[in-house]
Amino acid sequence: MTSYPSHYINGQWVKAQSAETLPVHDSSTEEIMATVPAGTALEAESAVLAARAAFEGWSGLSVEARAAYLDKVAAGLKARTDELALAIAREVGMPLKIARAVQVGGPTWHWGNFAKVARNFEWEKKVGNSLVVREAIGVVGCITPWNFPLSQITLKVAPALAAGCTVVLKPSEIAPINAMILAEVIHEAGLPPGVFNLVNGMGPVVGEVLATHPEVDMVSFTGSTRAGKRVSELASQSVKRVALELGGKSASVILDDADFEAAVKGTVSACMLNSGQTCSAHTRMLVPASRYDQVRTLAQAAVAKLNVGPSLEEGSRLGPLVSANQRERVLGFIRTGIEEGADVIAGGAEPPALAKGYFVQPTILGIKATDTLAQEEIFGPVLVVIPYKDEEDAVAIANSTIYGLGGGVWSGSDEHAMKVARRLRTGQVDINGGPFNGSAPFGGYKQSGNGRENGVYGFEEFLEFKSMQLKPAAA
């Protein structure tokens, strides 16, 4: 077991004030793999004040200088890929090979890409007799989740730093080890003291300081809709900018002219990645009522190929959930679905035949659009199949939740799929299985959040506009 005794504040590792620690569990074995300190409100405030003191100098650097630092961080992460992949596979439960590509490869690319975005950005523009300039918003508090921990940290910290902001990060207490490694990489890259700070701890303690402190100009939060509402309420008292990436209940709409084998297989994959612990997972599969039996057979075949096993075991396609609490929450939803009369297509509430680990069987349930599982975000390996009458009904069902984060449309032609996709109230729609694009904006409609991440769209979240009115030249 590894013990981390310090926070990273003002360019150095500072021993924690409190003796209280937070355990980090290996989700495949249930054993404690590490501990991190439980940060205090005073430590969080110290980090905020360090970030404020560093802001003027950091924002005053040239864009090239800041971008060069981001390139160093990208190189440092790449050099520690194996270590990071192992940590995240154990913390979160994603199988190691997949974690290496998705949980580490993606964030490493984003650090380098945000350096490019900053270099290519139009920082000022003449508009009539005004010079409109873009400037860093200031000190940013970043509060991040456990499911894609390094990725969600990166999509906040990297663009904020590139924009000229300084940062205080509170990573998830459930999966913080990757954040500690990142802090080591940032330290080795030589960023000036106070530009990046990390305080471990609980949301009601450390997170609330970031949401309320008058020296924090913006809070960027990813997590549950419930917690996002709390952050918004607190931040509103000082009129901070708030960026929220929250929950989802994304629909994969399979139209009658689709390739059903490809569509069902693709939807199952899009639901089950990271054991369903993905905010944009396609967790509702909407199918023509007349094709339900065909879909049922295809779904059973697709899910049968998902080998469930420990994250470090070769051949595992689906790992455990992140914690015992998460496992019980997901099993509770499965039981609710069955009690409400769901058709159990695959899986169920019985545990897999594994001695240890927070495992849940990949489960597919046939339900009605009005059932609990058609509305609630489960955040586990659970796909619901919902029959629809016609295209109008499919669109209505897809739009019938409080969320609007992701989704997909499958059709025999992209044109038909895109026509339906334009009617979906959601931030991203995959057309016939189109792959994720790290440069396209990611974020949600409705209660899935405010603001966007990725590429230039995520970069602009951390900038303010300033207009300088110039006196017209004499005629």
- Report the predicted TM-score, pTM, of the whole model to 2 decimal places: 0.97
Is 385 in contact with 302 (CB distance < 8 Å)? no
Q: Which residues contact 169 (CB under 8 A, 6 or more apart)?
A: 142, 144, 153, 156, 157, 179, 196, 197, 198, 199
Any catalytic annotation for residue 340? no
pLDDT confidence bin for 458, thresholds 50/70/90: very high
Q: Which CATH number fits domain 250-436: 3.40.309.10, 3.40.50.10860, 3.60.110.10, 3.40.30.10?
A: 3.40.309.10
Identified catalytic residue from 43, 245, 453, 461: 245
Structural domain boundaries in the chain: 2-246+449-467, 250-436
Q: How many angstroms separate the CA atoms of 105 and 233, rounded?
A: 35
Q: What would the mean pLDDT of 109-129 be, rounded to a whole number? A: 98
Identified catalytic residue from 142, 165, 271, 279: 279
Structure confidence by residue, pLDDT tens digits, 67-77: 999 999 999 99
Any catalytic annotation for residue 279? yes
- Going by C-alpha positions, the residue among 195, 102, 201 that lies closest to residue 157 is 195
Specify the fold of 2-246+449-467. Answer: Aldehyde Dehydrogenase; Chain A, domain 1 (3.40.605)
Structure confidence by residue, pLDDT tens digits, 213-258: 999 999 999 999 999 999 999 999 999 999 999 999 999 999 999 9
Structure confidence by residue, pLDDT tens digits, 137-158: 999 999 999 999 999 999 999 9
| Torsions phi, psi for 69 (to 5 deg) | -65, -40
Q: Are strands 196-198 and 218-222 parallel, antiparallel or unpaired?
A: unpaired
Structure confidence by residue, pLDDT tens digits, 320-361: 999 999 999 999 999 999 999 999 999 999 989 898 999 999
